[in-house]
Amino acid sequence: MAAEVQKVKVSQGSVVCISLLFGYTLSCFDCFIDKKLRDVLCEKYVIEKNGINSPPECYRLVKKIFRNQSLLQAARVSKDYHTALGEKLIQLIKPISLFVSKNWTNDSVYDQILRTAADRFVVEVSNLPRVACYPPCGSQGDGFAYDCAKCSYESCDFDLDCPVIEIKVIERSRIRMPCKVPFDLPNEFMAVWRFAEIFNTRELEKFTEVTAGVDMVFSIPSTTSQNQGTYQCEIFSNGLSIVRLYYYVSVIPMGEIGHTELQEIFELSTFGSLNSSLDPSSQGPSAVVLIACVSAVLLVLLLTLVVLDIKM
């Protein structure tokens, strides 16, 4: 059986090349079922609605069923286990091919038996060894996972630079930025924190080193405008970079908070008044408008007291 699967893999080479050229997504069926077996499977496929024999429609149904995400995910086994995938799939498809080759079979029956086979395939391959890859970033060791969408193994080595995570904080707030990744790190590693003031960037030349060691969390006890910018955590092991994480911190001054709240309250009261004027059944100001007005008065009073306190 292993030799049969290997022969099937070689025969699928042209299919893989075509898929790469035209961006066509393959399925586990394409990877392991040869032309002879698929022809037998689909030769007596009948569209029940019009009674037409249509092998091409059968192929499309098969690809659709064996290209679903749960099946593709279950087939992501670790290196050298694709042979086991092929063996299990062939064992499921051969009896079906034998059954449908004896009689003309309509599409609804095909759909049922093929979906049952796909579900069994998911169950049977789920216990095979696998390596989890965690996109979108990080060099994740020697991991390889089989990808039925390409009929080949893909490396777990992604781009070192993770997407920038944006954080908005009020001035004088405390923030904590973790340098954590979803994959396992080596036993010995070092985390280097860098900072690019003001900029929201991943350009390495804009960063200056802040600290280095095993501290996986960077804390700022009380933020100021000088803390605004991008923080980078780069994890090293044996001198090699594993991943670079980024946080862009945007610090909002305290003064702008009061102005923003007043603006929101004004817009709320205006919107509420407009709704009341458009509603013929409304009698007097709405509760929303009254609450907004009272809140505005209280906020103005509070800001006035703060200003007077500062001057004194």
- The most distant pair of C-alpha atoms in the chain lies apart, rounded to whole Å, by 98
* Residue 21: predicted pLDDT: 34
pLDDT at 295: 59
pLDDT, residue 4, reads: 43
pLDDT tens profile 117-154: 999 999 999 888 877 778 899 988 767 888 888 898 88
Who has greater pLDDT, 16 or 202?
A: 202
pLDDT above 70 as % of the chain: 73
Long-range pairs for 67-73 at CB < 8 Å and ≥24 separation? 67/25, 67/26, 67/27, 67/29, 67/148, 67/149, 68/118, 70/122, 71/27, 71/28, 71/118, 71/121, 71/122, 71/148, 72/27, 72/28, 72/147, 72/148, 72/149
Q: In this predicted structure, what is the pLDDT of residue 263?
A: 53
pLDDT per position as a tens digit, 227-262: 999 999 999 998 899 999 999 999 999 877 665 554
- 168: which strand partners? 250
| Radius of gyration from C-alpha coordinates of the chain | 31
Could you tell me how far CA 294 lies from the centroid of its own chain? 45
| Rounded (10°) CA dihedral 302, 308, 310, 312 | -150
pLDDT band at 279 (very low <50, low <70, confident <90, very high): very low
* pLDDT recorded at residue 15: 42
User: Lowest mean pLDDT: which of 6-20, 46-60, 180-194, 238-252?
Assistant: 6-20
pLDDT value at residue 187: 87
The closest of 128, 99, 126 to 114, measured between CA atoms, is: 99
Predicted confidence (pLDDT) at residue 303 exceeds the cutoff of 70 = no
